[in-house]
Structure 1
Amino acid sequence: MLKNLDPLLNADILHALRSMGHGDELVICDANFPANSVARSSVLGKLLRLDGVSSPRAIRAVLSVMPLDTFIDQPASRMEVVGEPHTMPAVQHEAQAEVNAAEGRDVPFASIERFAFYERARKAYCVIATGDERGYGCFVFTKGVLLAPDVPRS
């Protein structure tokens, strides 16, 4: 165990998050998403897993250590419900609450059509599959920066 670190964040996920740079994207998806085949096309090239965890809970863990990009208008996106682009299922409302809590501000989700979401996910740095059995528990997050305070150099 490590202090002040969400216990869901295993070594593989921590390594991926630390390896990502500003502007890189991460996908958190539900159990219905074609995660393995999509992840093979990602930068990391392999699937990361958080089985038995909901998508919102995985988001809480990831965003406990990863800042969202503040230089773009939409650093968080969700997969649209097919045929109902403005509908947000419960899993997406729960995820929205986690994002807002992690950032300490409202960060509304952009919506992405299902097949456009798949294409974007293939270009992401990595894909984290959850055990969430609810549909549309699929999200993209853009990594931001943490700027160190000015420190005098000796």
Structure 2
Amino acid sequence: MLLGINPLLSPDLLHALRSMGHRQDIAIVDANFPCDPSKHRVIRLDGVTATDALEAVLSVLPVEKDEPESTWRMIAYDDPSYILPIFAEFSDIVDQHVPDAEVHAIQPAEFKAMALDAYVVVVTGERRLYGGIVVRKGVVPPPGE
């Protein structure tokens, strides 16, 4: 255990977060998300919701601020205006860490491709449908900036 570190951040996840470079992505996905650990860097957080995983990750990960989009979720039921409760939760969590940030809705196929191209895919125990988000890593500015 470490002081000040969310206990959901496993050693493997902390290593991945620290290893990520600027503008690389992390995908936090639900338990039904199809990915092959032999082809992708996959970390499992079984029994953890995607929203709890996002909260833990954003407690240490800077989010990209110099691009118009830095967080993405899927469009549900082919309707971009349809807001599932998990989408609202994702938005609230992102807004707590990056005020005025918007979680952008993209088509499921685009989301899946983006997630599978991410630096790391975190497969959670989330059972809610469309329970995934992609976050782009930002930078930690030098002291005094």
* TM interval, short-chain normalised: over 0.9
Match of 2:19 in 1: 19
TM-score by length of 1: 0.88
Report the equivalent of 2:139.
Answer: 145
Unaligned runs of 5+ residues in structure 1 are none
What's the counterpart of residue 77 of structure 1?
Answer: 72
The CA distance in 1 between the partners of 2:65 and 2:87, in whole Å, is 21
Q: CA–CA distance in 1 between the matches of 2:38 and 2:64?
A: 25
Alignment of 1:123-138 (within 5 A): 123-138=117-132
Q: Shift of the alpha carbon at 1:147? A: 1.2
1:98 aligns to 2:114 (yes or no) = no
Matches of 1:95 and 1:83, distance apart in 2: 19
Deviant stretches of 4+, over 2 Å: none
| Structure label with greater radius of gyration | 1
What are the superposed Cα offsets for residues 114-144 of structure 1, whole Å, 9 maximum, x if unpaired? 1111111121101001111000111110000
Is 1:67 aligned to residue 65 of structure 2?
no
State the Cα distance separating 1:52 from its structure 2 match.
Answer: 0.9
Post-superposition offset of 1:12? 0.4
CA contact (8 A) 2:72 2:111 kept: no
Alpha-carbon distance in 2 for matches of 1:40, 1:66:
25
Q: How many residues align?
A: 144
Query: SS of the residue aligned with 1:82?
Result: coil
Q: Distance in 1 between matches of 2:135 and 2:61?
A: 10
TM-score, normalising length from structure 2? 0.94
Q: Aligned-pair distance for 1:31? A: 1.1
Distance 1:139 1:58, change over 3 A: same
Query: Is 2:115 the partner of 1:121?
Result: yes
Please say which of residues 109-118 and 61-70 is displaced more in the overlay: 109-118
What is the RMSD computed on CA atoms of the aligned residues?
1.3
Residue 46 (structure 1) shift: 2.8
Tell me which amino acid in the other structure corresponds to 1:108.
E
